[in-house]
């Protein structure tokens, strides 16, 4: 018995499978074959079967996959059967947008605290949460279990803040600052780089994905 690493390409596809299966579930679809799903998702049926078989055999020959079961299993793989306590650091527009995004709760992510350094924001309410002073962070983390910290502070502040959070025991960081965070490897970072996403769009629009040769 040994451990097999799941490739990053597979992991990146899992949430999309989960989304499509959730949509099917809402439409009361009971079963689906890899071929049908592949047509909806515009991927190959082969890839779907390969991907799923990294985690075990969820289907049945001659039948396909039970939508509800597969959805639930992928949910478990993604850790969506767990509840996560989330704090948001940086109560600017983006931080507020995240705090107000109700849908996250449905997946088990609960915003427990919002922090900022601006006196204008400290003390204000965002969806039932009072914005706290960022200076209280260390103390807060001593008495509250926090699984994920969303970082929505300016670029220059992010690396130092992330290092502090790691020191104070945070294991998951959802980083929106346009910078890379170099942290001990027991800390997991997931980046959302909006500016880079926009640049990719710009690239595709400018039509330079074909180069004369």
Q: Residue numbers of the site for DNA (CB under 7 A)? A: 7-10, 33-35, 43-47, 49-50, 52-53, 57-65
User: Which residues is 111 bridged to in the sheet?
Assistant: 86
In the complex with its own copies, the residue whose CB is nearer, 134 or 152, is: 152
**Choice from 3, 27, 120, 185 touching its own copies (CB under 8 A):** 3
- Taking residue 170's Cβ as centre, other Cβ atoms within 10 Å add up to 20
**Choice from 124, 147, 157, 181 touching its own copies (CB under 8 A):** 147
| Residue 9: strand, helix, or coil | helix
H/E stretch holding 202 reads helix 194-205
In the complex with DNA, the residue whose CB is nearer, 10 or 94, is: 10
Which of the 8 DSSP states describes residue 6?
P
In the complex with its own copies, the residue whose CB is nearer, 62 or 120, is: 120
Shortest distance, position 210 Cβ to its own copies, whole Å: 4
> CB of 122 within 8 A of CB of 141?
no
Helix spans in 45-193 (H): 45-53, 67-77, 93-100, 103-106, 137-143, 158-167
59's contact among DNA, its own copies, none, with CB below 5 to 8 A by partner kind, is DNA
Torsions phi, psi for 183 (to 5 deg): -125, 160
In the complex, which residues of this chain contact its own copies (CB under 8 A)? 1-6, 11-12, 14-16, 18-19, 54-55, 77-80, 82, 84, 92-94, 96-98, 100-101, 103-104, 107-109, 147-148, 171-172, 174, 178-179, 188, 190, 192-206, 208-213
């Amino acid at each position: 018995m040994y451990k097999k690493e799941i490739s990053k390409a597979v992991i990146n596809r899992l949430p999309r499978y989960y989304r499509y299966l959730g949509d099917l579930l809402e439409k009361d679809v009971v079963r689906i074959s890899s071929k049908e799903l592949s047509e909806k998702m515009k991927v190959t049926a082969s890839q779907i079967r390969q991907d799923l078989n990294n985690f075990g055999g969820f289907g049945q020959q001659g039948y396909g996959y039970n939508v509800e079961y597969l959805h639930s299993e992928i949910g478990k793989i993604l850790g969506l059967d767990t509840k996560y306590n989330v704090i948001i650091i940086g109560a600017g527009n983006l931080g507020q947008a995240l705090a107000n995004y109700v849908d996250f709760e449905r997946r088990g992510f609960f915003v427990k605290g919002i922090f900022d350094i601006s006196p204008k924001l400290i003390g204000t309410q965002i969806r039932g949460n009072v914005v706290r002073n960022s200076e209280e962070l260390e103390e807060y983390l001593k008495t509250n279990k926090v699984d994920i910290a969303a970082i929505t502070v300016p670029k220059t502040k992010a690396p130092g803040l992330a290092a502090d959070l790691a020191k104070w025991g945070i294991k998951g960081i959802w980083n929106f600052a346009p910078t890379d965070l170099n942290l001990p490897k027991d800390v997991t970072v997931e980046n959302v780089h909006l500016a880079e996403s926009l640049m990719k769009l710009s690239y595709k629009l400018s039509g330079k994905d074909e180069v004369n040769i």
